[in-house]
Structure 1
Amino acid sequence: MNARWFAQLSWPALRHQAGRQLLALLAIVLGVALAYAVHLLNGTALAEFGSAAASLNGKPDLVLRARAGALGEEVYAEIARRPGVQIAAPVLEGMAQAADAQGQRFNLRVLGLDALQAAPLSPQLLPHGQDLQQLLDPQRLFLNEAALQRLPQPRPERLTLRVAGREGPLSTTQTLGGTLDAAGAPLAVLDIAGAQLLLGRLGQLDRIDLRLRPGLSPTQWLAEAKLPAGLVAAPPPDEGERLQELSRAYRVNLGVLSLMALFTGSFLVFAVLSLSVAQRLPQWALLGVLGMSARERGALVLAEGLLLGLIGSLLGLLLGWWLAALALQRLGSDLGLGLIQGLRPQLRFAVEQLPAAAVFGLLGLVVSALAAGAPALAVRRMPVAQVLKGLGGALHGALPAWLGPALLLAGLALALLPPLAGVPLAAYLAMLAMLLGGIACVPALLRGAVAMLARLPDSATLLLLRERALDQAGEALRALAGVLVSLSLSVAMLVMVGSFRDSLDQWLTRMLPADLYIRSALRLAPGQAAPLPPAYVAAVRHSALAERIAVQRSANVLIEGAPQPVTALAREIEDEGQLPLAGALAEGQGLPLYVNEALRDALRLAPGQRLTLRLEAGAGPQPAFVRGVWRDYARQSGALILPLAAYRQWSGDATVSELMVWLRPGTDAQAAAAQLRALAAEPQDLELAAAGELRGISLRIFDRSFAVTHWLQAVALAIGLFGIAASQSAQVLARRREFGLLLHLGLTRAGVLRLLALEAALLCGIGALAGLALGLALSAVLVFVVNPQSFHWSMDLSLPWPRLTGLLAATFTAGVLAALIAGRRAASGDAVQAVKEDW
């Protein structure tokens, strides 16, 4: 019965209103596609990185390390003899540099392995088809595909490496062997004896990978082993999980933003179906009189929404797959975030992806069903006899006046709640409550605007405008819902990104006060620069180029009670006001520390709190206290700043990691940089950049990271603009009889168009101003709640008024133009004939 009714009634209606239905369908397609594409990118990135990390870490039961510093080879011999140990594989890690095809150096991770012990644990780190003698040759180097692609072609037989040694940089030449299967960034593997010689670390190890005998659990072995003091054993770190934790906030925020288009599209579907039902009220009433039940009428409207959702979801999944593949090629698997280096994964279909596709497809169906629910319920409850007589045409009851303010207050209360498992779920719910509250307040805002119009001198046009506005307050809510959501979210994202960028620019100004910055291009470990040669530091000090220089030492320190080392920046602090501090300073006893916001939140620190620092090797414990908290936009992990003199006195470490150079007035920065580079014995060992160059690089990375955000924001805004244009056009065309009657009564065609322009201006003006106010409230939640809870970054609110003005003008203009274009047709001569339909 329902299928027959649908074929005879709903399908022709859908074809007749194909333009508006196409807009609703497009909204669902884009919403599902963006959400599914972001999910695919996140999953692909994490899976690829986890696989690459697993190939590097192998599959041991336990990893043995020293609490501080390196392991001695005698530890390996003692552990290998322990009962229950089946395999003990020593590993040494380091960094080297090699020259690429253009002669430019690139960083190469170096792993030293014992091939006999590592083969069962890390087969991907050993090349296939190599005899044992080659694997044990300390002069033979094996590279992965990422490293081989950087080398000149044809591939050379020998490769010169440059590393940071204890007594200074070292150069050595190795013979190239077979190819490794390990994915990820450029990697070199060689015998552990050769690695110790190459890295200048004879007799040292970084870790020992342990495989226990079958049936023996790591917990049981640890309980019985009684490891020597200074050693710690734990399961191998899950690098994929670490990346997931590090990028979780970014991925969650991006996922929520991708759903913005679908959320906005749901209001467009609601508006289209509501207008479609309103235009067919006489037909629904006649069918009700002829015997169609209320349930069947509601089911037909719901079926229309589900059909749109089904088609839109299927097309959205296909488009989402294509968008994900395109984004992998253009932006990388982390969408420009920069957390994943050396990986270019390909999107491949797998059976495991079907459940996720089903979830996002079902999401499109649910959104469409919810959007069609209110029109379906209204058709089901309408009084058919009264509607058939031209009465009782209002389908939707008015919302309670208290609902909007109550939802806004609920949003404010939710925004004050703490995050759940590091994710600001309460803040997202607060934004949803505020959006719904803003929508519920539209009728009241419209009535308030009409009350203000009552103060103007009376005229026929203003009288018609006021009566129409008061009578159609509910229609205004449906027309403005989509654009209000998209506009407010666009304003919020625009303010948040602008505030973040302005705060980053100010932070860079404070953190980069000098003219030039110099550090070593060599690395001791990934992300850890080697110290600069003392002779070079002295040469820069005595050069005539520098008016003033300052030095910084970067090192890893341990905080008692913290599970992982944190980055310590020992620098000369002449004026605390130059630091980007967040909050007040505190007094205390011991070494003063300035912790970043990530470290403060991770360890729940507060200014004045006492701590104990330890170095990874060497010096003993050092009492300290938290002097203050500083903003650190360079990292999401813990870091601290401490005075250089106090660090040197405690650690005995006089080396320098970075040089900050203030040039003499009138000195050309580019020429000075060339002269300072020439002071080095090996100029290629230096990385030298001007402050403006570093600032530009940082801001470009920021813009690249938020490129996807801008695209998602633009799509949602476009859907909202299409929504208000479609709603305005549909409402104007549905009023052809009204316009014909006004023309019969003497109102001119120009007067009808003027009335339409005023109505559209009133409606769009309220929508633009309400969207601005709601967007500013949402931006406050993003700036002061979501970002600190997600990324541990606080910032200052900055309002980009030129962009906000352009955004509001575009929204206002789109609505007014859509009404006028449709009004020219509705107020034409044919509209006069439409009055005959009532005769």
Structure 2
Amino acid sequence: MTLWRHFTWPAWRDQPGRVVLAVIAVMLGVALAFGVHLLNGAALAEFARAARGVNGQPDLVLKARAGALTDADLVELLNRPEVTAASPVVEAMALWPGQVGPGGRGLSIHLIGLDPLALLASAAAGHPLAPELTPQVESGVGGLLGANVVHLNAAARKLLPAGAKTLTLRLPGDGKPRDIELAVGGRVIADNTPLGVLDIADAQALFGRLGSLDRIDVQLAPGTDAKAWAANLPARWQATPPDDAGARLSDMTRSYRVNLGLLALMALFTGSFLVYAVLSLATAQRLPQWALVGVLGVSARMRWRLILTEGGVIGLVGTGLGLALGVGLAAGALKLMGSDLGLHGASDSSAELLFNQPLLVPALVYGALGLAAALVAALAPALTVRRIAPALVLKGLGLPASRTLPAWAGLALLGLGAALAGLPPVWGDTPVGAYAAMFLLLMGGLALVPALVQGMTALLSHLPANALLLLARERSRDQATEARRSLAGVLVALALAVAMTVMIGSFRESLLRWLDDALPADLYVRSALRAANALPAPLPPALLQSLSQLPEVARSSPQVTARLRLAASGQAVALTARDVSAGGLPLVERWSGVREADALPVWVNEAARDRDGLKPGQVLQGELIDGGRLLKLQVQGVWRDYSRQNTALWMALDDYRRASGDTSTAELALWLAPGQSLEATRAAVRKLGGDNVEMAAAGELRALSLKIFDRSFAITVWLQAVALAVGLFGVIASQSAQALARKREFGLLRHLGLSKRQLMRLLLIEASLQGGAGAIAGLALGLGLSAILVYVVNPQSFHWSMEMHLPLLRLAVLVGLAFAAAVGASLLAGRRALGTDAVRAVREDA
């Protein structure tokens, strides 16, 4: 503590800028990582809470294997002794006329029909089935049983006009949509998208489904084995645990959250190099003082511990500030985007979700990471101070020889990294092997920097010989290891920035090409109404005929979206039926074998190939969920699907209609006739369909897709910029450390006759060699990392393949910025070092 007070603290007090820079580096890294973790946790908590509100808390959910349940099924179920409570449910999606949802489209409200008496009975028994859906009314039970009364949640009440007592909604019908009028009743606390709860008898009558049920939420007697009970049910029933949407969302977004978290840690990783540069600079400036205290009796171990203490103090201060800033960043993001991160519309519980999740353990983890990064960064300067010979340093003989890995070790690390990149993902879709490969490539590239500097130095021998070139060549050859240390931060930051730039550019370019293939028509029309499963309701047949006969339309192509249950896994997946010859099927694999005569051809997306093992030529069984028909399918190819991360299938529309008997059409693609304008066609479609249809031009869908893409990667670009800025600060500090450590060398060269101008030229040559080596190594490593991101991480994490695209202008800017930072920092630091009088600098050796 005495040494700290009399030796370290005065140095920090006299030059606080570099210390503050190191603290900021640790702070930003910890803040970004911790803030991203809190954001992920808040989003998952919101979806889990929404799922509990809609699905309740039953032991099992009973559905019919085909078609719908009936009131007779409810009676039979209640007569089973193991059942203590059963809540029948019917659902529908209604259009809210006059309200606009995301993207300017019509807003739908989720309507749920429940038996309020069954809910009250389950609550009285101590096992509430759906507490967040139980209406809260002021008029007691009578208010629950009022005719055609809807109880709304907060999201729906926000859309009500002030003082409104009734609500008009629109439901899909067999021939045409129909409006229903409901009285506004009490409240439900389920807080998600707009939602309303009705008495089940009213709901069945209003929905046109008398005697029909969608599901029955079942509560079993204590001690009953739910799995065994479900196995003994009649074949027409299917009982499963309630759908955990929160867990499903966690699985679906795991890859995104892991990648985002690792990207946030990138700033901390590069920040550790800045801490290293700051401590190296301080070590270089105070080397005579370190030697002096060594001569006065301070042991090498004590000097080593003191440098580590400096790193620890920087880490502790930066970590504490970073954790606080991380909470602030997360709170600000939740305030802007809502507690569900803008996916459904903001709710008012952002702070609650943020602080109700576990905070202590994550704070300790990210705090430990920040402290560890600072301590690891302090190891090299600490070892340098520990290894010095104090008497030799006081005589001006400088630092001990640097230790470095041989070039073959760097090549071995590169080879091992390339081998690990081919490993399959673990823990679902997490490409652990690819991440390890990227780390090994970075370490291998750092190990090869000295060899690269020496190779570039050898090029100087081909230039006309003079004193400056000779000095630059010899010093660059001798100090190649120091170049690795000084360029480590910018090399890592540049490599990661290049990798992310190439990956994002490749993804965006591939998305543009995919949109051109997936959206071949000029205008897309679908119903603004939704079925109970939230899929678009069928368009009325009369409207379909009228749309296809419009003079503005050259041709049309219908499309149907259905749900299919794969027999092998029991998983419900999306099935799209459309005219395959009309385009829109960007294939990445095609099967040219012989098709089985009784099998229907289907095309699967990459997620189906990777997750479910559906390969071209494979025969599988599927069951239409809505119709209950069994289908024999054969995979004809694999198509690229940037709209999903889960399994989806395509089928020819004619095959689907023959197999299912479904003649409805949910969406219609329209190609304009020659000379017809898009706006005139829109007006004609709107005249026929009114508010019951939604339209989107291909250009609008492309623009919306690109907007979503850019928004999704905005935080990625920001994190990348922060990491690059930290790396550039690191190289500036490192070059300053080297230049200031050479004051006496510059003084000696001045005594030997070199002018300041010549010394600046010498520094320019040396900095150009080192900066060029760092830029070349960073670019090469970045391209290698981008190949892993494009060809390994994205296919394994998201099941999206893409072609590599090199944004040359952006890459040139990144490389030029890194080179300019290295050269400019060296020249500025050299000018400062040369400002010291040569005689005074050399006199320090006496």
TM score, norm. by length of structure 2? 0.95
CA distance in 1, matches of 2:774, 2:312: 29
1:138 and 1:190 in contact (8 A); partners too: no
Q: Tell me if 1:657 matches 2:682.
A: no
Residue matched to 1:246: 252
Q: Aligned match of 1:439 in 419, 441, 446?
A: 446
Q: CA deviation at 1:749?
A: 1.9
Q: Aligned match of 2:48 in 35, 50, 73?
A: 50
Q: What code does the residue aligned with 2:845 have?
A: D
- Label 1:812 to 1:245 Cα distance change in 2 as closer, same or farther (>3 A): same
How do 1:462-473 residues align onto structure 2 when only pairs under 5 Å count?
462-473=469-480
Residue matched to 1:646: 655
Q: What code does the residue aligned with 2:495 have?
A: S
1:335 and 1:705 in contact (8 A); partners too: no
CA distance in 2, matches of 1:390, 1:832: 14
Q: CA deviation at 1:584?
A: 3.0
CA distance in 2, matches of 1:687, 1:832: 83
Q: CA deviation at 1:105?
A: 4.1
1:598 and 1:637 in contact (8 A); partners too: yes
Q: CA deviation at 1:775?
A: 0.5
Residue matched to 2:133: 125
Q: Tell me if 1:346 matches 2:350.
A: yes
Residue matched to 1:669: 678
Question: What SS does structure 1 have at the residue aligned with 2:351?
Answer: coil
- Label 1:41 to 1:418 Cα distance change in 2 as closer, same or farther (>3 A): same
CA distance in 2, matches of 1:341, 1:605: 36
Residue matched to 1:265: 271
Residue matched to 1:573: 580
CA distance in 1, matches of 2:650, 2:760: 66
1:382 and 1:395 in contact (8 A); partners too: no
Deviating above 6 A after TM superposition, structure 1's stretches of 4 or more consecutive aligned residues are 101-104
CA distance in 2, matches of 1:344, 1:100: 24
Percent identical residues:
53
Residue matched to 1:609: 618
2:621 and 2:633 in contact (8 A); partners too: yes
Q: Tell me if 1:403 matches 2:409.
A: yes
Residue matched to 1:457: 464
Q: Aligned match of 1:209 in 206, 217, 237?
A: 217
2:392 and 2:398 in contact (8 A); partners too: yes
2:795 and 2:801 in contact (8 A); partners too: yes
Q: What code does the residue aligned with 1:459 have?
A: N
Q: CA deviation at 1:806?
A: 1.1
Q: Aligned match of 1:80 in 78, 81, 89?
A: 78
Q: CA deviation at 1:823?
A: 2.6
Q: What code does the residue aligned with 1:664 have?
A: A
CA distance in 2, matches of 1:586, 1:608: 8
Residue matched to 1:280: 286
Question: What SS does structure 1 have at the residue aligned with 2:844?
Answer: helix
Question: What SS does structure 2 have at the residue aligned with 1:660?
Answer: strand
Q: Aligned match of 2:507 in 490, 500, 512?
A: 500
Q: CA deviation at 1:748?
A: 2.1
Q: CA deviation at 1:527?
A: 4.2
Give unpaired runs (5+ residues) of structure 1.
none
Residue matched to 2:786: 779
- Label 1:570 to 1:193 Cα distance change in 2 as closer, same or farther (>3 A): same
2:67 and 2:628 in contact (8 A); partners too: no
1:42 and 1:333 in contact (8 A); partners too: no
Q: Aligned match of 1:176 in 163, 181, 184?
A: 184
**1:644-682 Cα distance to aligned partner (Å, 9 max, x none):** 1111111111111111111112211112111122122xx
Q: Tell me if 1:189 matches 2:204.
A: no
Give unpaired runs (5+ residues) of structure 2.
124-128
Q: CA deviation at 1:524?
A: 0.7
CA distance in 2, matches of 1:511, 1:643: 15
- Label 1:341 to 1:561 Cα distance change in 2 as closer, same or farther (>3 A): farther
Q: What code does the residue aligned with 1:585 have?
A: W
1:619 and 1:650 in contact (8 A); partners too: no
Q: CA deviation at 1:264?
A: 0.4
Question: What SS does structure 1 have at the residue aligned with 2:837?
Answer: helix
Q: CA deviation at 1:333?
A: 4.6
2:285 and 2:737 in contact (8 A); partners too: no
2:558 and 2:578 in contact (8 A); partners too: yes
CA distance in 1, matches of 2:739, 2:387: 26
Residue matched to 1:22: 20
1:96 and 1:522 in contact (8 A); partners too: yes
Q: Tell me if 1:551 matches 2:552.
A: no
- Label 1:52 to 1:544 Cα distance change in 2 as closer, same or farther (>3 A): same
CA distance in 2, matches of 1:140, 1:207: 21
- Label 1:526 to 1:741 Cα distance change in 2 as closer, same or farther (>3 A): farther
Q: CA deviation at 1:390?
A: 3.1
**1:188-240 Cα distance to aligned partner (Å, 9 max, x none):** 100111112222222211111111122323234335xx211131112212111
- Label 1:612 to 1:102 Cα distance change in 2 as closer, same or farther (>3 A): closer
Count of matched residue pairs: 829
- Label 1:101 to 1:510 Cα distance change in 2 as closer, same or farther (>3 A): closer
Q: What code does the residue aligned with 1:227 have?
A: L
**1:333-363 Cα distance to aligned partner (Å, 9 max, x none):** 5656x4x555454234358312211211111
- Label 1:73 to 1:449 Cα distance change in 2 as closer, same or farther (>3 A): same
CA distance in 2, matches of 1:432, 1:16: 37
Q: CA deviation at 1:530?
A: 0.7
CA distance in 1, matches of 2:528, 2:379: 62
Question: What SS does structure 1 have at the residue aligned with 2:358?
Answer: helix
How do 1:700-739 residues align onto structure 2 when only pairs under 5 Å count?
700-739=707-746
TM score, norm. by length of structure 1? 0.96
Q: CA deviation at 1:617?
A: 3.8
2:280 and 2:734 in contact (8 A); partners too: no
Q: Aligned match of 1:137 in 146, 153, 165?
A: 146
Q: Tell me if 1:69 matches 2:70.
A: no
Q: Aligned match of 2:639 in 630, 636, 650?
A: 630
Q: CA deviation at 1:624?
A: 1.4
Q: CA deviation at 1:798?
A: 0.7
Question: What SS does structure 2 have at the residue aligned with 1:814?
Answer: helix
CA distance in 2, matches of 1:173, 1:202: 18
**1:738-775 Cα distance to aligned partner (Å, 9 max, x none):** 22222232222222222222222221111111111100
CA distance in 2, matches of 1:88, 1:335: 35
How do 1:799-810 residues align onto structure 2 when only pairs under 5 Å count?
799-810=806-817
Q: Aligned match of 1:321 in 319, 323, 327?
A: 327
Residue matched to 2:109: 108
What value does the CA root-mean-square deviation take over the aligned residues? 1.9
CA distance in 1, matches of 2:242, 2:822: 59
How do 1:333-412 residues align onto structure 2 when only pairs under 5 Å count?
333=339, 338=343, 340-343=344-347, 345-348=349-352, 349=355, 352-391=358-397, 393-394=399-400, 396-412=402-418
- Label 1:392 to 1:673 Cα distance change in 2 as closer, same or farther (>3 A): same
2:744 and 2:842 in contact (8 A); partners too: yes
CA distance in 2, matches of 1:68, 1:703: 42
How do 1:524-563 residues align onto structure 2 when only pairs under 5 Å count?
524-525=531-532, 527-563=534-570
**1:785-805 Cα distance to aligned partner (Å, 9 max, x none):** 111111111111111111111
1:379 and 1:395 in contact (8 A); partners too: no
2:339 and 2:346 in contact (8 A); partners too: no
CA distance in 2, matches of 1:52, 1:102: 22
- Label 1:575 to 1:45 Cα distance change in 2 as closer, same or farther (>3 A): closer
- Label 1:411 to 1:331 Cα distance change in 2 as closer, same or farther (>3 A): farther
Q: Tell me if 1:296 matches 2:302.
A: yes
Q: What code does the residue aligned with 1:197 have?
A: A
CA distance in 2, matches of 1:825, 1:493: 36
How do 1:751-766 residues align onto structure 2 when only pairs under 5 Å count?
751-766=758-773
CA distance in 2, matches of 1:101, 1:611: 43
Q: CA deviation at 1:819?
A: 2.1
Q: Aligned match of 2:748 in 728, 738, 741?
A: 741
Residue matched to 1:35: 33
